[in-house]
Structure 1
Amino acid sequence: MTDGVMKRVDLVGLHVEAMSGTPLVILREQEAPHRVLPIFIGGAEATSIGIGLSGHPPPRPLSHDLMAALVEALHARVDAVHVTGLREGAFLAELAVTGPDGPRRLDARPSDGVALAVRVGAPLYASADVLDEAGSVLPDRPDEEAIERAVAEFRGHLERLDAETLSAALEEPEHPEPGSTPEQEPPSDPDDDPPREGPSS
């Protein structure tokens, strides 16, 4: 569930970080228009958001077009998209949806939420805590250089988070099971599946 104060934000547009070529969306706080929230996203999501903003539907529906059609077919509506938190460098979001059975909150990636919002006209919100932690202040008339500075500031914030997470992990004591020692642990099976990466935002 969404906790804390939520601030209305507008989608300023898509941007590509010059150094890495990584796409991101820029959200601007309505009450404080000089403060923006950059969110790194995937290339496919950036393309989908761009198509949604263009107002020209593709020849065949994309995933987010299908999501919007399903919402309508099920007699539901997307009331809002909330950016609710920032955990280990990944933004968290929720969809506020109302259907025949009443309102629901659905966990989502911010990129998917934005892509759906531009198709159904749903408002965007961001947690005040997230804006305080990851937002950047732009000048009255931001140019490409100002946006790059905001992105670089946020990139530095993510790097600090990664360093703090690693430091905490190194300081955390290990807790082996009773009766086991490192020598008693069985060797790993080479046929075991490798660890999978978590979902990106």
Structure 2
Amino acid sequence: MVQVRVAGVALDAAQQHVILLKPLEDLPGEGRLLPIWIGAQEATSILVAVEGAPVPRPLAHDLMREILDTLGATVDRVEVTRIDEGTYYADVVLDTPVGSRVVDARPSDAVALASRTGASIFVADGVLAEAGVIDTVTGEDEDGVPVDAEESVDEFKRFLEDVDPDDFRG
């Protein structure tokens, strides 16, 4: 397993949302990014959590976090465990008063929940090897902003225009 972070959420050429996961130890421009196509609601939920944006009413993943808190459970970590015919699978690992529990989840829901709880996100080595794409960002400045960001965004847009979710089917 490789620990990752949410590197961003983007739209592909068909206006489908894609979450980008990046290994923590990889600098921009090295290693791989893992694109996972997700729904619009999940993309919004992840962006709200990552950016710390206020919402007038709790979203579904806020409710999940509150339920876990009420029951005395915490999210230990989430894991994107496999990809099967283009479908990604994930687990949410919980610490509960009665011990550790593993709950099957869609990666988008697992990442949205991890983004709200501060839990670590991991991706199986085989998933990253099979579905990861080469990261082309050239670096970051002292504030963590990508250098040559406009060029990198344009390059990534070109990638998204040419890629199809079927490219990641086994």
Contact 1:96 1:104 in 2 (8 A): yes
Contact 2:91 2:103 in 1 (8 A): yes
- Hey, what does 1:182 align to over in structure 2? none
Higher relative contact order (CA 8 A, sep 6+): 2
Choose the corresponding residue for 1:155, options 154, 165, 170. 165
Instruction: Compute the TM-score of the two structures, normalised by the length of structure 1.
Output: 0.71
CA distance in 2, matches of 1:149, 1:97: 39
Q: Could you tell me the percent identity over the aligned residues? A: 38
Contact 2:86 2:165 in 1 (8 A): no
Q: Does 1:26 align with 2:36?
A: no
The structure with more strand, counted as a fraction of residues: 2
CA distance in 1, matches of 2:47, 2:24: 21
Give RMSD over aligned pairs: 1.8
Choose the corresponding residue for 2:155, options 137, 146, 154. 146
Would the alpha carbon gap of residues 156 and 87 (structure 1) be closer, same or farther in structure 2, given more than 3 Å must change? closer
The structure number with the bigger radius of gyration is: 1
1:120 Cα deviation after fit: 0.5
Instruction: Compute the TM-score of the two structures, normalised by the length of structure 2.
Output: 0.83
Local SS of the residue matching 1:68:
helix
CA distance in 1, matches of 2:159, 2:104: 27
Q: Does 1:125 align with 2:122?
A: yes
Q: Does 1:83 align with 2:80?
A: yes
Local SS of the residue matching 2:72:
coil
CA distance in 2, matches of 1:60, 1:78: 22
Choose the corresponding residue for 1:11, options 6, 24, 39. 6
- Hey, what does 1:196 align to over in structure 2? none
5+ long unaligned stretches in structure 2: 139-148
Local SS of the residue matching 2:115:
helix
1:157 Cα deviation after fit: 2.0
1:11 Cα deviation after fit: 0.5
CA distance in 2, matches of 1:117, 1:26: 15
- Hey, what does 1:43 align to over in structure 2? 40
Choose the corresponding residue for 2:100, options 99, 103, 118. 103
How many residues align? The count is 154
Local SS of the residue matching 2:154:
helix
Contact 2:49 2:112 in 1 (8 A): yes
